Amino acid sequence: MTKKTVHAAVYDTLADWEAGAALANIADTSWHREPGVFEVRTVGLTAEPVTTMGRFRVTPDLALADLDPADSAMLILPGAELWSGDALNPFAEAAKRFVEAGVPVAGICGATIGLARAGLLDTRAHTSNDPETLAETGYSGARHYVDAPAVTDGDVITANAMSPFEFAREIFARLDLYEPPVLDAWFQLFAHKDASAYAALAGQ
């Protein structure tokens, strides 16, 4: 079995809730189509520890300079206060390299600003917290903005900050992590609090 690595970017001020559902369920193989295929590794600007918005200290598994799209199944970019400036531009450039190599990238909240700056949203359907924020980047993809919790267009997934479960669902679908009925049940349970959906998951 070939192990596939999902890389999760970590940096100071990272918004803990935004990628938590996705990463926890990629790491937990309980309902996976092929248990044991995927693993999660964290990547930082450097290998130095970072502090999230929730005050968690995270030591990255590797530095961004050592990240190669060829070694990855996906790059996940959570939101962070730092996306409002230039500090995380290296991650935006890494996202561009991933997409050019045919490896998907998923960005939520402020990370969509980085994707816009990198030109990845100029020709793709996408979303964000609001269209005005993306317009401030000077990108040329405003006509492709979609007012939706999460959007997938080819190798680029985007979501707003209020939609961590929709973000996770798009990620799981792109990775083919679950059988379709399992994915539907997972989303109904966690996003819609539909307790009846647990029976479908418990039977897996």
Q: Compute CA distances 37 → 21, 31, 204, whole Å.
A: 18, 12, 17
Q: What percentage of the chain carries pLDDT values higher than 90?
A: 95
Residue 8 lies in a domain: yes
Residue 39 lies in a domain: yes
Structurally, the chain folds into a number of domains equal to 1
Sheet holding 74-77, edge to edge: 62-63, 38-44, 4-9, 74-77, 105-108, 156-159, 150-153
pTM > 0.75: yes or no: yes
Asked whether the beta carbons of 187 and 163 are under 8 A apart, the reply is no
Residue 12 lies in a domain: yes
At residue 204, the pLDDT reads 58
| pLDDT averaged over every residue in the chain | 96
Residue 51 lies in a domain: yes
Which tens digit of pLDDT belongs to each residue from 178-193?
999 999 999 999 999 9
Which tens digit of pLDDT belongs to each residue from 147-180?
999 999 999 999 999 999 999 999 999 999 999 9
Angle at 197 between CA 195 and CA 199, to 5 degrees: 95
At residue 57, the pLDDT reads 98
Q: What stretch of H or E contains 91?
A: helix 89-100
